Chain A
Amino acid sequence: MNDFAQAVQALRPQLLRFAQAQLRNQAWAEDAVSETVLAALAKPQAFAGQSQLKTWLVGILKHKLIDQIRRHSREVSATTHDDDENIDDLLFDQTGHWRTAPAEWGDPEAACGRREFFEVLEVCVEKLPGVQGRVFMMREWLELDSLEICKELGITATNLWVLLHRARLRLQTCLQERWFGHATAKAAT
């Protein structure tokens, strides 16, 4: 194996983690990553050191992930039911008031300046329930617009907004627990 092939293979575990976080299906994730690696090895000249190898591979992977979502659209559509316990009921009482008032998170730059913050955010995204996680990643990582997501998943806009609402609320709750309410965040400010 040449250096290029070795460098590509070395990134495979990370690509697989990304693919799994997006598709929430091990077999499809393996397929997307294999296709990405094959495509990369087939035309190494396309890379030509134009950017970081990882950035280039992730760019290919994103296209392969959208292919996978299309290829399995029927199965994906069949599993858009979100059986998540309602996060709103955990956060609000029967009169619609906060059970615990949301905390001040401070200056966005203070959090965004630290790579540990993104590691925690990454964990929180991976912990999202399957359907919410898939939709959230399509929106925020693959950067698809609402119309495309609805089309690919065969869901209504209202359904999409409910899923994104729950995903975003869950993420903020997770970040409060694991970062902002935590000593590591305070130590830096």
Chain B
Amino acid sequence: MSLLFRNCREVTALVLAGEDRQLAPIERGAVWVHLKVCAACPAFKRQVALMRHALPRWRAYRDGE
């Protein structure tokens, strides 16, 4: 596995890991490089962002209604 050039599976794992821990600089670099050239993964990253937005709302919905 190259440190900077990773495949979609590895980058997906890093993007998700970023939700639960601080990524190392080399990991952030690898994500950045991959997202520049990949046609599929940017949409996945936007899905993760939507989830990050939606989960606090889900908590409020479930606890309040």
Contact B19 A168 (CB under 8 A): yes
A104 interface neighbour in B17, B46, B55, B65, Cβ under 8 Å = B46
Chain B 48-65, CB within 8 Å of chain A: the 1/0 string? 111101110111011111
Counting contact residues on chain B (CB < 8 A from A), the size range is: 20 to 34
Known: A54-B63, A58-B63, A96-B7. A111 touches B20 (CB 8 A): no
Cβ–Cβ < 8 Å partners of A88 in chain B:
9, 12-13
Q: A97-B9, A118-B61, A164-B16 known; 4 other A-B pairs, CB under 8 Å?
A: A55-B63, A88-B9, A102-B43, A140-B55
Counting contact residues on chain A (CB < 8 A from B), the size range is: 35 or more
By beta carbon, the residue of chain A nearest B54 is: A112
Q: What 9 A-B pairs have minimum CB-CB distances, sorted nearest first?
A: A96-B7, A96-B9, A101-B40, A92-B9, A102-B44, A108-B53, A118-B61, A102-B43, A108-B50
By a beta-carbon cutoff of 8 Å, the part of chain A in contact with chain B is 18, 52, 54-55, 58-59, 88, 91-92, 95-98, 101-105, 108, 111-112, 115, 117-118, 121-122, 139-141, 143, 146, 157, 160-161, 164-165, 168-169, 171-172
Minimum C-beta distance from A21 to chain B (A): 9
Known: A164-B20, A168-B19. A105 touches B64 (CB 8 A): no
- Number of residue pairs spanning A and B whose beta carbons lie under 8 angstroms apart: 99
Q: Give bound CA distance, A120 to B36, whole Å.
A: 32
Contact B50 A105 (CB under 8 A): yes
Cβ–Cβ < 8 Å partners of A141 in chain B:
59, 62
For the complex, is B35 an interface residue (Cβ under 8 Å from A)?
Answer: no
Contact A169 B16 (CB under 8 A): yes
Q: Give bound CA distance, A168 to B17, whole Å.
A: 10
Minimum C-beta distance from B7 to chain A (A): 3
Q: For residues 2 through 54 of chain B, which have their beta carbon under 8 Å from a beta carbon of chain A? A: 7-10, 12-13, 16-17, 19-21, 39-41, 43-44, 46-51, 53-54
Cβ–Cβ < 8 Å partners of B19 in chain A:
164, 168
Minimum C-beta distance from A12 to chain B (A): 16
Contact A102 B40 (CB under 8 A): yes
Q: List 23 A-B contacts (CB under 8 A).
A: A54-B64, A88-B9, A91-B12, A98-B40, A102-B40, A102-B41, A102-B43, A104-B46, A105-B47, A111-B50, A111-B54, A112-B57, A118-B61, A121-B58, A140-B58, A141-B62, A161-B17, A164-B16, A164-B20, A165-B17, A168-B19, A172-B48, A172-B51
